[in-house]
Amino acid sequence: MASSSSGPRHERDVNGLRTVAVDRGVVGTAGALLAAAATVLGPFVVLRPNRVLPGVAVRALAVGGGRGWWLLGGWLVLAALSAGGVLAARARARSFARWGRWAAVARGLGASALAAAALEAAGARAASFAALEGPLARTSLGGSFYVMLFGAYLVLFSAAGPGEARLGKTVAWIAPLVATGGLLVSGRLSQLAVLREYANIREAFWGAFGQHVMYTAGATGVAVVLGVLLGVWSARRRRAESAVFGVLNVAQVLPTLAFIGLLMPLMSWMGENVAVARAAGVGGIGWAPVFVVLVAYALYPITRNVYSAIRGLDSGVVDAAKGMGMNSRQRLWSVELPLALPVVLAGVRIALVQTTAGAIIAALVGGGGLGRIVFYGLEQTAEDLVLVGVLPIVALGLSLDIAVRGLEGILASAGSDAQDAQGKAAA
């Protein structure tokens, strides 16, 4: 799959910058207009006296307290601001660059504030409904709420997409997090169905969350150790290469549930006949088959990246290390692996995201994790309970993705600085 392309926008000429600014403005305008339409049309929240009864849909304009009208006005202002940015970028090639950055910051702040206001409006409606109907009442977020959120995302993207100024990016990432966190802490959202379901299972939730993190960390950890070994081995031996990737490819292709299913007889045999395995709790049901499958899936991106990073090294670098009298092991530890690190990290990142999503399956074979909540919610056809399981998985995957991407960026720039320094020293 293609990875995100953060082209060197800043190296382009003013015209290129202007086109990007126009495109971004168009995305921002479209997003704000979409969100504005979502305040007028469609179910913003769905009110149910309890989980089972059919719900009543409420439009955003009708949530009460005039909140819907404020939202509509806010989104229209933001749309006008974005559209103004488009016109300005078309008209004034040079000076827009100076204040275009501030316009991006304003768009980012505005979209975050409006998304938070939408959440608050839904929370307020939930609170008044709960006051009326009692503790069984369920106020779910409706389709047009999610459409509005997507609109807000488009506006944020227009302020913080690849190549935008760092200030705009920082604001667009931090503002929504701060706003959502603040609302959650303030308790204004506590009557929304997702949070009511969470409150009912708070302890089980954190237990499941811990198990999920253990799957992600444990499986990726084992896969990093094995993947580096296999990657280095196959980079150095042609025969190893085709065997290693042949096996890893088969593992990659097997359907998750079928893979687990094929391991179950093996694992239950081990649990019954191998003392060490029994002591570790290995069995056909439980964590063991899932863990093996997650490691097998995570091995592929890590091994492939180790392999191609070492293979792709400049032969001059390796020759220089040989010329300095380094033996094969010294070269590996002090030259090849450090230089390969950014690429290896990209593999680890893919493995982390994949494992976080994949560990949901564990619950199907009694292995716990957040999947338990998802499947429990599915049995009850309680969408909000499903969300209690799904949202943390997505949040965990995204945070790991962003964190490791950041680390890759730091390492890559450190690497190029070191090369620059070397270049200067040589001159």
* Residue 2 CB, nearest approach to other proteins (Å): 5
* Residue 263 CB, nearest approach to other proteins (Å): 9
Instruction: Identify which of residues 110 and 161 has a Cβ nearer to other proteins in the complex.
Output: 161
Instruction: Identify which of residues 39 and 140 has a Cβ nearer to other proteins in the complex.
Output: 140
Please state, in angstroms and rounded to a whole number, the distance separating the CA atoms of residues 203 and 224: 32
* Residue 27 CB, nearest approach to other proteins (Å): 6
**Buried b / exposed e along 126-153 (16+ C-beta atoms within 10 A):** bbebbeeeeeebbbbbbebbebbbebbb
CA distances in angstroms from 92 to 12, 83, 86, 418, listed in the order given: 17, 14, 10, 40
Report whether 82 contacts 158 (CB < 8 A): yes
Instruction: Identify which of residues 68 and 284 has a Cβ nearer to other proteins in the complex.
Output: 284
Structure tokens at 2: 């293609």
Report whether 17 contacts 98 (CB < 8 A): no
The arrangement of strands across the sheet holding 138-141 comes to 56-58, 45-48, 138-141
Number of neighbouring beta carbons within 10 Å of residue 70: 14
Please state, in angstroms and rounded to a whole number, the distance separating the CA atoms of residues 133 and 194: 17
* Residue 131 CB, nearest approach to other proteins (Å): 26
The backbone region for 163, taken as left when phi is positive above 0, alpha when psi lies in -120 to 50, beta otherwise, is: left
Instruction: Identify which of residues 292 and 332 has a Cβ nearer to other proteins in the complex.
Output: 292
Instruction: Identify which of residues 251 and 337 has a Cβ nearer to other proteins in the complex.
Output: 251
Report whether 335 contacts 318 (CB < 8 A): yes
Report whether 66 contacts 193 (CB < 8 A): no
Name the residue type at position 400.
Answer: L
* Residue 77 CB, nearest approach to other proteins (Å): 23
Instruction: Identify which of residues 93 and 364 has a Cβ nearer to other proteins in the complex.
Output: 364
* Residue 334 CB, nearest approach to other proteins (Å): 33
Q: What is the enclosing helix (H) or strand (E) of 48?
A: strand 45-48
Please state, in angstroms and rounded to a whole number, the distance separating the CA atoms of residues 173 and 159: 10
Instruction: Identify which of residues 401 and 415 has a Cβ nearer to other proteins in the complex.
Output: 401
Residues that bind other proteins (CB under 8 A): 1-7, 19, 23, 27, 154, 157, 161-162, 242, 249-250, 253-262, 264-265, 268, 284-285, 353, 356-358, 360-361, 364-366, 371, 374-375, 377-378, 381-383, 386-387, 389-390, 393-394, 397-398, 401
Please state, in angstroms and rounded to a whole number, the distance separating the CA atoms of residues 396 and 283: 28
Instruction: Identify which of residues 109 and 361 has a Cβ nearer to other proteins in the complex.
Output: 361
* Residue 102 CB, nearest approach to other proteins (Å): 22
* Residue 249 CB, nearest approach to other proteins (Å): 7
